[in-house]
Chains A and B, each alone.
Chain A
Amino acid sequence: MPDKQEKLEAFENIDIEIPLILEAIYQKYGYDFRKYSRSHIKRRFIHRMAINNIESISHMQDKVLRSKDFFIELLEDLSINVTEMFRDPEFYASFRENVVPNLKTYPFIKIWHAGCSTGEEVYSFAILLREEGILDRCQIYATDFNRKVLEVAKQGIYATRDIELFERNYTKSGGKSKLSDFYTMKYGSIKLDQSLVKKVVFADHNLVTDSVFAEVNLIICRNVLIYFNRDLQNKVINLFHESLSSSGHLCLGSKESLKFTNKEYCFSDVDEKQKIYKKSLAKPCIKH
């Protein structure tokens, strides 16, 4: 069966072609996906090939080198933007209980949402911080390497289809009033109260290729590191460690962890299950 042989051949080639196209993208556009999870990248590329009817990754490489628009399309494919308000409500509940009392002792609080996607997480935190009476003391940076999602984040307009989920999450997270107090409904969309993000700076920042953003007291980076390989996770955790003030907090996604990273011992657990960590004072931090 020549067909079967051909398929196998094409399959074998993919593993050769992927590092090449990633290198090409990096050289041409400066976006570095070389240390992202390979199986994730491979799935997204194969998906794109099927949709655009592209014969091989090599053809796709040719296309991406010639067309910035196509690069933007690939960037969309590779940056998974799925998010929601008060995602993992237990995490927010724990944050309220275990981190907020500490934040309240600060006269001024700097917060960095890294990989904020379309902003649902930023608005969720702003609501929580306002309810706790400290939003006005916060300077918030919300960054992502995908400019398109940052535009959405700035607007704070979301489809109503998710509203029930958001409401449910908000209530489970220990929300103190009604989520509807914080948005208005219009033309099948909701618009979040813009006073929530008065002091938010939305900015383009690439965790892989850009350096320390600012010194902050709290970093929230959820569901971003899972797309990176171990090596890259280490690199980004180091970046966070550098960016955090002493005793600053770090919040990761539910399935992400400092376990097995080389900074594992530079943080202490605030809530191990909800992946809330605190930078240790001890310096240098060593394995015990």
Chain B
Amino acid sequence: MYKALVIGTSFGGLEALKAIIPLLPKDFPLAVIAVLHIGDNQNDSFIRYLNDISQLEIKEAEEKEAIYPGKVYFAPPNYHLLIEGDETVTLSTESKVHHSRPSIDVLFETAAWCYRDQLIGLVLSGLNQDGAYGLLQIKELGGICIVEDPDNAIARIMPSAAHKIAKPQFIIPLHQIADKIITLINTQS
């Protein structure tokens, strides 16, 4: 039984997220935890926007909060988001990783430790390599990895790095990703 979906993206990320999160059904059984690099800007406006067009509740992750299925959590700007073994959130102000804070690698790595083979990792459009090693960690611990097809992505650097380093099980165009995730969930043993 999958428990969580983690998503990492930067440049072109909001566009990509718009093609996935609104398609997740109201009774989506996984927690969704995401990093979108937006520099020092605040999260509020895009979270409000995604909330308006989605069926799931979307929020900024709060320090020490418990992670529940059917909710979408975004890392706050300027903080790394780590997942604890008891499925709660830890935020951290430690140095940037790949010039990024929040870093996708940090989220993916700690999510992999917590959820192991009950995790789906997804890398979308972006302009640096953040997320590739985290995705590899997800794969090594038995999770499923999906990468947006770099050929169709707004920015290809991030998905192609993830492709090269993690060798994901699925590399698919953006518009097929939500379906793929739902199928994976519905056909799991």
Residues on A lying within 8 angstroms of B by beta carbon are 4, 7-8, 11, 15, 37-40, 42-43, 80, 82, 223, 226-227, 230, 233, 253, 255-257, 260
Contact = CB atoms under 8 A, between A and B. Distances in A.
A8 B142 CA distance: 9
B141 A226 contact: no
A82 B114 CA distance: 26
A227 B63 CA distance: 10
Given A37-B90, A223-B93, A226-B91, A43 B82 contact: yes
A8 B139 CA distance: 11
Interface residues of B, number: 22
Contacts of B93: 80, 82, 223, 226, 253
A39 B140 contact: no
Contacts, number: 59
A8 B140 CA distance: 8
Contact of B63 (A43, A82, A256): A256
Interface of B: 62-64, 76, 79, 82-85, 90-95, 106, 109-110, 113-114, 140-141
A255 B91 contact: yes
27 contacts: A7-B140, A8-B141, A15-B85, A37-B90, A38-B84, A39-B83, A39-B85, A39-B90, A39-B110, A39-B113, A40-B82, A40-B90, A40-B92, A42-B113, A80-B92, A80-B95, A82-B93, A82-B94, A226-B90, A226-B92, A227-B90, A227-B92, A230-B64, A255-B62, A255-B79, A255-B91, A257-B63
Nearest to A225: B63
A92 B97 CA distance: 27
Given A8-B141, A226-B93, A255 B63 contact: yes
